[in-house]
Amino acid sequence: MKKSIFIIAACLLAFGCNRTNGGDSDTITLEQTKAFTTITLTSEQNFLVYSDEEFPFAGNIIGMRKSYDIVWPTENIMTLEAEHELTHILFCNDKIDVFETAAHHWLNDATFYTEDGAKVTPVKNIDDSSWYSYFTIESKCEQQGDIATFIIWRETYSVGAAHGLYSCEYVNVDVNSGNIIHLNDLVDTSLLGPVIARAVEDLTVNSDVQKALFDVNPERLPVTADFTIDSTRSTITLVYQVYEIASYADGIQEIVLPIFWLSKHIPLTPYAKSLFGPGCSID
């Protein structure tokens, strides 16, 4: 039972989503820049879960809450393809392209309990004074120049577990094109591994990462698909979720790659040069 719960919880986090390289309207306004607009969508579903066997506190009823409080792009702000990808990232479902359908399916999915023989009953509310499991997604969106970044926070906890799981993901959008920016749009990711290792070993800004690594040899670091661009566009920060390269206690790890430094070790794509502006690289 606990194994199944852990697996589904992990699937809700960033490293389990197989990412590749109705509410009020909000408007992010910047001078001389196209404004990236969003709406806020909130929903929640509660359940009561009961099982006699193989269940935390067997014989007792516990609660389960699934909820989301996220921002979503307004119509025509992003391309349809980008919206589909954002749907997949949010709800870890590569079979459903329509946001409303994917959200409803995720919110009402309790199969990881029923498959283990537990009885699951949807209810309007659960008693917050009692222990309960929860699976939640929250997000916000920030715009810096012509890049809008969705910041997606996930947290899960299953009753009886020593601790929950969490992740913080970033989805960068080119406001002008409406497309999601992938790491391989900026550099050839097949060549990036050794550069990441060098950034960990040589740059003092990443010294804490080297201390936290599972494997003291950074040559084995994976190339993550999760990254963010800072407000001045002077760095790319690679984001590694809990357990990807370090222990739970060490938390999420970030490896900073200054753009000018990066260009000394790996060619930037023409798109990256246009995105980061003149003087960002050594030609």
Q: What is the pLDDT of residue 115?
A: 65
User: Tell me, what amino acid is at 100?
Assistant: E
Per-residue pLDDT, 180 = 98
Instruction: State percent of the chain over pLDDT 70.
Output: 84
Q: What is the pTM of this model?
A: 0.86
Q: Which fold has domain 184-274?
A: Actin; Chain A, domain 4 (3.90.640)
Interval 62-99: pLDDT, tens: 899 999 999 999 999 999 999 999 999 999 988 899 99
Strands (E) across the chain are located at 25-30, 33-50, 61-73, 119-123, 132-144, 147-157, 165-174, 179-180, 227-229, 235-240, 253-258
69/213: higher pLDDT? 69
Give the start-to-end residue ranges of the domains of the chain.
2-175, 184-274
| pLDDT band of 214, cuts 50, 70, 90 | confident
Count other Cβ atoms within 10 Å, centred on residue 279.
Answer: 9
Give the pLDDT mean for 55-63.
79
Same fold, 2-175 and 184-274: no
User: How high is the pLDDT of residue 51?
Assistant: 80
Kindly report, residue by residue over 181-205, the tens digit of the pLDDT. Answer: 999 999 999 999 999 999 998 999 9
SS3 257: strand
- Give the Cα separation of 18 and 100 in Å (integer): 21
Strand 61-73 relative to strand 33-50: parallel, antiparallel, unpaired? antiparallel
CB neighbour list of residue 197: distance below 8 Å, 6 or more residues apart? 218, 219, 221
Which tens digit of pLDDT belongs to each residue from 6-51? 434 544 454 446 577 744 445 444 456 789 999 999 999 999 988 8
The highest-level CATH class for domain 2-175 is alpha beta
Q: Could you report the per-residue pLDDT of 111-150, keeping only the tens digit for each? A: 777 766 788 899 999 988 788 999 999 999 999 989 999 9
Residue 241 has pLDDT above 90, yes or no: yes
